[in-house]
Amino acid sequence: MLLDIYDPLAPPKPIGIDLGTTHSIVAYVPDERPVALTTCDGTPLLPSVVYYGSHEHVVVGQAAQSYKTREPERTVQSVKRFMGRGADDPETTRLGALKFVTPRNEDEARTVRFDFGDRQATPVEVSAEILKSLKKSAVDQLNRVGGVVITVPAYFDDAQRQATRDAGRLAGLEVLRLLNEPTAAALAYGLEKKRDGVFAVYDLGGGTFDVTLLVLDGGVFQVKSTGGDSALGGDDMDRLIAQEMLHAMGCGDPATHTPEVVSLALDAARQAKHRLSEVEEIEVGLPARGGAEVVYRLTRVHFDALIAELLDRTGRACRRALRDADLSKEAIDGVILVGGATRVPRVRSYVKELFGREPLADIDPDLVVAYGAALQAELLAEASDEVLLLDVLPLSLGVETMGGGVDKVLPRNTTIPAGATSVFTTYADNQTGFELHVVQGERELAEDCRSLARFSLKGIPPMPAGLARLEVTFFVDENNLLTVTARELSTGNTQQVEVKPSYGLSDEQIEDMLIDALDHGEEDIERRAIADARVEGQRMLLSTKKSLSEDADLLEADERSRIDDAVLALEAAIAAPKSAALVQGRIDALDDATHAWAGRRMNRAIQQAISGKDLSAVEQSVAHAAGVEAHLQAHQSAGTPAKGSS
């Protein structure tokens, strides 16, 4: 079938790769319809398993699976769940046979490293071995391979996306784009079935869950909202069954969990799950402690009960995605199933209950993502505008402000690629630098969000507080990778950082970040308001005390005592803030007490500025006086104060 492709003059063929937790697939588009290529195992599905033997021997795919019970401590499966994660991530403590390198310093703690005794490997290197195998299969059948589109879960953060891109490059692939898996599935359905409408993509794979709501209209694929959990999938179902099997084998105590026993239980659990998709009850013979054999029985009813909590977690994400898109379930024209775990009968019935309609599954859920990736690769190679993909940010991106609040520069569900700019100012007099802290999340305070990057901008000329202007620009490209640029407007000093964080999100963080934002919404708003009011009050106090040291002679007889009383009241409110309204009230009281005096100070500043000067000098001095007024009225300074260094 592929003989006509072996043409040395033919251009390289673009390919799409679904780099999955359980299986990986490579596909291409020979005509208009995508086709999955045969892997080294002779099937389209390549098990995402890598065995690291001695003497640099590496085995990928079905052949590597045979080592899972023989040498489980050298066999890596579900490596996708470790992409972009740090050595202290909770994922490293999950039920499994792998050993991890204990980090000796902070640098080593930034990345998970698998310990195979005589060698080590990172998740990026393991994923690259899978990609190398897929690339070889493509080259064997297509002769020449061009650029590749690799799919990732919509909820992969920047670290996980960058790790995926690095794995592609390490495998010798030209990565054209990282494409969200739900978008890839919708792309496959939209082009093949010529359907327009509002679709929900329910993607439950081996290790990740995504839900995405898209509008398909005349070739435009616009993501309305997205959600999910990058640590939830069919593997978790396997672990639940494996835990019961281990108890049945007399190995309920984790101290008895040898790598061989754990690997055997996980493999038996996975097979049991697959068999229950066809039958109502299964029996599995398992070796027990002491050499005997026990029979473990599992019914579909009991299995459904085991996974109920996992399905509920997917349901919460789906309902949140509907709210974010301002859609009801009745507005959904179809639900697309993606991922091998959606073959579980209870998953399909749950999705039907959740959305009130029978889900679509007429394209193989294991292959549909790879098909979409291949179609996108073909379009990019041809620079075609036939299809427009509009993805969105899964979480807000912003900057920590003085006091610990967050200025959200790019809100959640912003269509990407996208850019936005915010302007900040200095907090203290003679501040000569800015410390920028980039965060990700929905909470109002930076301490409750995820830290992405910190960097400094130095060389700012000393100026009164509130006069310097820092322009911060966020740009997220089509691969969901963030670049932050900071520029001080008066000097043109610029600093830029590409956000490639070293730590991925923990199991709970991805789900909890949005749930916490909802649960603590009112509380967060009040805490943010208090933090902002305290910063404003402290700035007002600094300005007032400096003014008292410079122009106390302009005070009238009764003004000093009223100002001192207002200062003491504001200091007390800042020290123990009961509410933002209380702090703001004390700020307003100090403002009222200093208002007339500030006017007299302004008049003196102008008179001193224009005395004995020509018109042009006067114009410059008026501009300077305006700066003095901004300093005197600190609470009226434009922009949000950024953290500063002097």
Going from the C-alpha of 49 to that of each of 270, 272, 645, the distances in angstroms are 14, 19, 49
Mean pLDDT, rounded, of the chain: 81
> Which pLDDT score, from 0 to 100, does residue 513 have?
52
CATH number of 234-306: 3.90.640.10
453 and 501 Cβ atoms separated by less than 8 Å: yes
> Is the separation of the CB atoms in 367 and 337 below 8 Å?
no
Residue 265 pLDDT > 80? yes
Q: Virtual CA dihedral for 263, 264, 266, 271, nearest 10 degrees?
A: 140
Beta-strand pair 46-47/23-28: antiparallel
Alpha carbon distance 86, 504 (integer Å): 7
Give yes or no for residue 410 having a pLDDT over 60.
Answer: yes
Looking at domain 521-641, its CATH class is: mainly alpha
Q: How confident is the model at residue 636 (pLDDT cuts 50, 70, 90)?
A: very low
Q: Give the model's confidence band at 611: pLDDT under 50 very low, under 70 low, under 90 confident, else very high.
A: low
> Does the structure show a pLDDT above 90 at 381?
no
* Nearest alpha-carbon partner for 266 in 232, 308, 291, 234: 234
Determine which helix (DSSP H) or strand (DSSP E) holds 76, and give its type and residue range: strand 75-77
Angle at 203 between CA 508 and CA 91, to 5 degrees: 30
What are the angstrom distances between the C-alpha of 304 and each of 127, 269, 311?
32, 14, 9
According to CATH, what is the number of the domain 3-233+308-392? 3.30.420.40
- Residue 519 reports pLDDT greater than 70: no
Please list the residue range(s) of the chain that carry CATH number 3.30.420.40.
Answer: 3-233+308-392
Please write down the HEC assignment for all residues of 476-518: ECCCCCEEEEEEECCCCCEEEEECCCCCCCCHHHHHHHHHHHH
Domain with CATH 3.90.640.10 in the chain: 234-306
- Does 508 have pLDDT greater than 60? no
Instruction: Report residue 25 CA to chain centroid gap.
Output: 24
Strand partners, 104: none
Mean pLDDT of 349-374: 92
Local structure of residue 288 (DSSP, 8 states)? P
CATH architecture, domain defined by 397-508: Sandwich (2.60)
Q: What are phi and psi of 40, to 5 degrees?
A: -65, -15
Predicted pLDDT of residue 19: 95
The count of other CB atoms within 10 Å of the CB of residue 38 is 16
Task: pLDDT band for 28, please (50, 70, 90 cuts).
Answer: very high
Q: What is the pLDDT of residue 628?
A: 43
- CA-based nearest residue to 80, from 25, 41, 124, 39: 124
623-645 mean pLDDT: 42
571 SS3 class = helix
Residue 386 — very low, low, confident or very high, per pLDDT cuts 50/70/90? low
Residue 277 pLDDT > 80: yes
Please identify every residue annotated as catalytic: 18, 80, 181, 203
- Listed in sequence order, the residues at least 6 apart from 271 whose beta carbon sits closer than 8 Å to its beta carbon are 284
8 Å CB contact between 428 and 402 = no
Q: Which of the pair, 522 or 222, is modelled with greater confidence? A: 222
By C-alpha distance, which of 102, 105, 78, 104 is closest to 91?
Answer: 78
Cα separation, 13 vs 147, whole angstroms: 8
Most confident of 98-112, 341-355, 519-533: 341-355
Location of structure tokens 């251009």: 11
The pLDDT, as a whole number, for residue 9 is 57
Task: Give Cβ neighbours of residue 525 (< 8 Å, ≥ 6 apart).
Answer: 444
pLDDT of 500 over the 60 cut: no
Has residue 135 got a pLDDT over 60? yes
User: In the structure, what pLDDT confidence band is assigned to residue 396 with cuts at 50, 70 and 90?
Assistant: confident
Rounded to whole angstroms, the Cα distance separating 189 from 184 reads 9
What are φ and ψ of residue 88, in 5° steps? -95, 15
Residue in the structure block whose two tokens are 């996708």:
80
Model pLDDT for residues 72-125, shown as the tens digit of each residue = 889 998 898 888 888 777 666 564 668 888 777 777 777 888 988 888 899 999
Ranked by mean pLDDT, the top range of 24-28, 76-80, 139-143, 538-542 is 24-28
Predicted pLDDT at 229: 81
> Taking Cα atoms as reference points, which of 601, 635, 633 lies closest to residue 609?
601
Distance CA 416, CA 410 (A): 10
- For the chain, where do the domains classified as CATH 1.20.1270.10 start and end? 521-641
Nearest-angstrom CA–CA distance, 61 and 155: 26
Would the pLDDT of 258 be above 70? yes
Is residue 610's pLDDT more than 70?
Answer: no
Tell me what pLDDT residue 78 has.
Answer: 86
CATH 2.60.34.10 boundaries in the chain: 397-508
Q: How confident is the model at residue 308 (pLDDT cuts 50, 70, 90)?
A: very high
CA separation for the pair 446, 194 (Å, rounded): 44
Q: What is the mean pLDDT of residues 286-315?
A: 91
Q: How far apart are CA 230 and CA 432, in angstroms?
A: 41
